[in-house]
Chain A
Amino acid sequence: MSHPAGAEHAEPASKLFIWVWIWLLLLTAVEVVLGYEQYPVKLMLTMLMSLSVIKAALIMAYFMHLRFEKLKLVLTLVPALVVILCLFSIFFFPDSLRLMNLGWGR
């Protein structure tokens, strides 16, 4: 099924992908600079994770072609992941924070 009905959009040009690649490298460079400068850990974590999410979104949207697929596909795939990640974060971390406050680790 190399040509699913109605899926033939104009193929984006290579130039676009090269730009995405450059952007990904730039964002990585920002991460490296953050690693060099060292900010307070909460700030680091927030910034790094935001950068990672942007990078992931770029990869999914352009390299993995999601931007050129039907919106329906994106809405089927991505929310499940996001919801589950939120669930993990909401319910796992309070318990680990408690361990932190108990002074786990020697």
Chain B
Amino acid sequence: MSDAEVRVEALGAGDWGGGSLPYAVGSKKFGMWLFIISDALTFSALLIAYGYVRLANKNWPEPFEFYPSLVTATVMTLCLLSSSLTMVMAVAARKREDRPATMKWLWATIAGGLAFLVLHANEWLKLIGEGMRPFSNPWGSPLFGASFFTLTGLHMFHVVTGVCFLGVVAVATGRGKFTSEDVEMSGLYWHFVDLVWMFIFPLVYVLSIHHG
């Protein structure tokens, strides 16, 4: 192509503008979503493992009484669900740039989380008092206590982290720091913790109620 003439033309950059976001979600929110997916898999694997050992063991106990066990767990559910609602309000307030209201709702959310924790710790102590341990229990398969403590323990750990996280967000919001996306991101995490409980509650509590 010795005498081929070469034309050089200015080129467009194509349809990707750069800086726009493919999901219309900021990086922090998207990153939190990815974390939630990943964390959800950890919980899924644990719940599946729980189902696996429970199915396999004929001597699986169902020792909880409707009252007080399930009633307490229901109150705990109420705490978490309500704290999710206040969290939504906090996010909405922050979007309106209403920092005082944001803080108010955030502290309400934290209160819900703390109430959950207090009730939960109380319940653990009661069960330990009845002789339930990770390695044995008075009622049947030792894996009952093992999976109960593992699942609720890991969930409790998430609640504790969430409470601390929200505390940081609340304080920072009060000092005029943190964007609305930061508040939203912490909210996503908090709702996720709530969501996990929506599976632990039926599987671990409702299905462990004493018959008759």
B154 at the interface (CB under 8 A from A): no
Interface size on B, residues (CB 8 A): 64
A63 touches B23 (CB 8 A): no
Q: Count of A-B contacts with CB under 8 A?
A: 164
Q: Is the interface of B mostly helix, strand, loop or mixed?
A: helix
Chain B's nearest CB lies how many Å from the CB of A96? 4
A7 touches B25 (CB 8 A): yes
Contact with B along A23-38 (1 / 0, CB 8 A): 0110010011011101
B66 touches A96 (CB 8 A): no
A1 touches B26 (CB 8 A): yes
A88-B45 contact in complex given A5-B21, A21-B82, C-beta closer than 8 Å = yes
Give the docked Cα–Cα distance between A84 and B43 (Å): 12
The stretch that binds A, out of B2-10, B129-137, B168-176, B204-212, is B204-212
Tell me the nearest residue of chain B to A74, going by C-beta: B23
Give the docked Cα–Cα distance between A64 and B85 (Å): 11
Give the docked Cα–Cα distance between A89 and B41 (Å): 13
Note all chain A residues with C-beta closer than 8 A to B92.
Answer: 11, 14
**Which of A28, A59, A69, A100 contacts B84, CB < 8 Å?**
A59
A48-B26 contact in complex given A2-B180, A14-B92, A17-B85, C-beta closer than 8 Å = no
Give the docked Cα–Cα distance between A105 and B59 (Å): 6
Give the docked Cα–Cα distance between A88 and B48 (Å): 7
Give the docked Cα–Cα distance between A45 and B87 (Å): 30
Chain A's nearest CB lies how many Å from the CB of B51? 7
A48-B206 contact in complex given A7-B24, A92-B52, C-beta closer than 8 Å = yes
A93 touches B55 (CB 8 A): yes
Tell me the nearest residue of chain B to A28, going by C-beta: B77
Chain A's nearest CB lies how many Å from the CB of B135? 15
A76 touches B23 (CB 8 A): yes
Give the docked Cα–Cα distance between A4 and B21 (Å): 7
A1 touches B27 (CB 8 A): yes
Contact with B along A55-90 (1 / 0, CB 8 A): 110011011110001101100110011001100110
Between-chain CB contacts (< 8 Å), 15 pairs = A1-B27, A4-B21, A4-B25, A5-B20, A5-B24, A7-B21, A14-B92, A24-B81, A28-B81, A76-B23, A81-B40, A85-B48, A96-B51, A100-B56, A100-B57
Which 6 pairs of residues, A with B, have the shortest CB-CB distance? A105-B57, A99-B56, A1-B26, A48-B202, A7-B24, A35-B206
Residues on A lying within 8 angstroms of B by beta carbon are 1-2, 4-7, 11, 14, 17-18, 21, 24-25, 28, 31-32, 34-36, 38, 41, 44-45, 48-49, 51-52, 55-56, 59-60, 62-65, 69-70, 72-73, 76-77, 80-81, 84-85, 88-89, 92-93, 95-97, 99-100, 103-106
